[in-house]
Each structure stands twice: as structure tokens, then as C-alpha cells.
Amino acid sequence: MGRKFAAGALAAATLATAACARHTTATAPMAGNLAPPAAEPTQATTAPAAPVSDLPPCGDIATAATPPDCYLQSRDRVGLTFEVRHTGTGQRATVTISVLDATGAQVQTITEQSVGTTAPRLRDLDNDGRDELVIPIMLASSNTRYLVYHATGDSVHLQRAGELAGIGLDTTAAGYTVVTARDSYELWKIEFFYFDADILHPLVTAEVKFLDDGTGHIGGSECTVTDTGGLARTTLTPDQATTQFCAEPTVLRVRR
């Protein structure tokens, strides 16, 4: 009987040892016994295309001295590159812009004289999916003069579309180009334009006049819209145009 008890105890110990081993293996595998866990899948990334210009990208800060040569890169479907080079200093500086296609081939040269040293910029001013080239020229007043170059469709050649003058440029949901200008302390003019055949044409102008509350302070404003050549294009009556254009976000920003 003692031998049977000893054999039973030995069998129980063996089962306990095996169970313990299985538990240990399941909770803490020993290094080398199992393959390492599979690495987490990584998302494939595509490196951005190398710029076709050797110049540094243009900055946003103008200086009194001649700025360094730089380039602007359009992010539209055509992807033109604009190499910007200034000569001269101050308001007499001349800018020469070499337009390169996506392969780096030069397709156009644009030169503007007496433009100052403020760097040109790119912006889609009419919501057509193409960037316009905008060359700002500082004026003695608070307004800025902007030279605008425009390309239609997938053309790689830009046309000089015209000039705008104001504090800033904007775009409406309908694709009109807007320039806000300060005429005096109490009067703002917000001019709306449209492009036709690469040329800027005036549409309407919203005038916002501040009203005196009788104590020398602004007590609100009134907005009126005048036809500057394109009202018929909108198919709106004068009253409808006043309602629509005085409610544009660009106009509302200067109203009180």
C-alpha cells in the first residue's frame, strides 16, 4: 500500500508540474521559445516631389533691402513654379519672375518695374482651381496696389489681368474677386470683380459708411451697392444686389 501511495503522489506531482509549466508558458513565454510578434503594418508614404528650382522658397516678410532670390510653388493641377528675382532697392526695385512648368522648363518670363521689395504671392482669386500670381506694390496710403496675372484652364502662360488697389484681397463663394479699400475714416469701398478672357472686369461696389451717433462716435453703418459695369451680368435688380453684396462676409467685416 505504501508503494501505491508513493506512486500516486508522484503522479499527482507530475501533473501539477505539467500544469504549472503550461500556465507559465501561456502567460510569460521565454525568449527564444516563440517567434517575436509581427510588426504593426505601416502606412505607405509618398515623398513629396523635389522642387524644380534650386532657389530657396519665398518668405512672407519684406525688407527694405533687396530680398534674396526665391521661388513660389503653385499647388494647383498645373503645378507651375515661379522663380522670383529682385534687382534694385526700395520702391524702385524691379522683379523678374521666371515661370517653370512641372518638368523645370522655362515657359514664360514676367518683369515688373518699380514694384518695391514685397514678395509676390500665389492665390486662387476666382475659385476656378488655378492660382493667380499677385505682385503687391506698397503705396503711400494705407492701401496696396496689386498686379494680377491669370491663366485660364490648364494653360501654362499667364496674362496680365489688371490692377487692384486696397488693403486686402478676398474671394466670394460665387467666384468673384474682392478688394477692400479704405476711402476715408468713415467710408470703406469693397469692390467686386470677375475674370473674363484673363482680364479683370469691375462688377459692383459696396460702400460702407459709418454713422455718427451724435456724440462723435460710430453709431452703426449703412451699406449701398452701385453698379460699376457688371450688374447686368448678375441678373439682379439694384435692390437685390444691395441685399446680396452687403451680406458678403468681406463687407460684414467692416460694418458696424
Q: How far is Cα 107 from Cα 50, in angstroms, rounded to an integer?
A: 19
Least confident of 2-16, 148-162, 175-189, 224-238: 2-16
Stated pTM of the model: 0.76
Query: Tens digits of per-residue pLDDT, 93-131?
Result: 899 999 999 999 999 999 999 888 888 999 999 999 999
Query: Tens digits of per-residue pLDDT, 138-173?
Result: 765 678 999 999 999 999 999 999 999 999 899 999
Query: Tens digits of per-residue pLDDT, 56-97?
Result: 998 755 555 567 899 999 999 999 999 999 998 878 889 999
Specify the pLDDT at position 18: 43
Instruction: For the chain, give the mean pLDDT.
Output: 82
Give residue 216's identity as a one-letter amino acid code: G
Contact 99, 120 (CB under 8 A): no
Distances 32 to 22, 36, 37, 221 between C-alpha atoms, Å: 16, 9, 12, 80
Q: Parallel, antiparallel, or unpaired for β 94-100 and 106-112?
A: antiparallel
Please, which residues have CB within 8 angstroms of residue 170's CB and are 6 or more apart in sequence? 177, 178, 179, 180, 249, 250
